[in-house]
Amino acid sequence: MSTVRARPWVGSAPAEVVLVAVHPDQDTRVLHTARDLAARVGAGLVCAWVDPSRRVSHREPDGTLDLSPIDPDADDELGPVGAADELADRIAAHLSDQPWRFVYLAGDVVPELVALSEAYAVVLVVVGSRRPGLAGWMNEAIGGSVAGRLAHTQSIPVVVVPLPGDGR
In this prediction, residue 167 carries a pLDDT of: 43
In this prediction, residue 75 carries a pLDDT of: 53
* Other Cβ atoms within 10 Å of 81 Cβ, number: 14
Q: Is residue 90 part of a domain?
A: yes
Number of domains in the chain: 1
Confidence band for 34, pLDDT divided at 50, 70 and 90: very high
Q: Is residue 58 part of a domain?
A: no
> Taking 50 as the threshold, does the pLDDT of residue 134 lie above it?
no
For residues 152 and 70, the model is more confident at: 152
CA-to-CA dists, residue 74 to 121, 147, 154, angstroms = 36, 28, 33
In this prediction, residue 14 carries a pLDDT of: 94
Q: Is residue 152 part of a domain?
A: yes
In this prediction, residue 142 carries a pLDDT of: 45
Q: Is residue 69 part of a domain?
A: no
| 8 Å CB contact between 6 and 62 | yes
Q: Is residue 121 part of a domain?
A: yes
> Nearest-CA neighbor of 156 among 16, 14, 47, 52?
16
In this prediction, residue 61 carries a pLDDT of: 76
Q: Is residue 84 part of a domain?
A: yes
Mean pLDDT of 126-148: 62
Q: Is residue 85 part of a domain?
A: yes
In this prediction, residue 94 carries a pLDDT of: 94
CATH number at residue 111: 3.40.50.620
What's the whole-number average pLDDT of the chain? 81
Q: Is residue 167 part of a domain?
A: no
Query: Residue 89: which domain range?
Result: 12-53+79-161
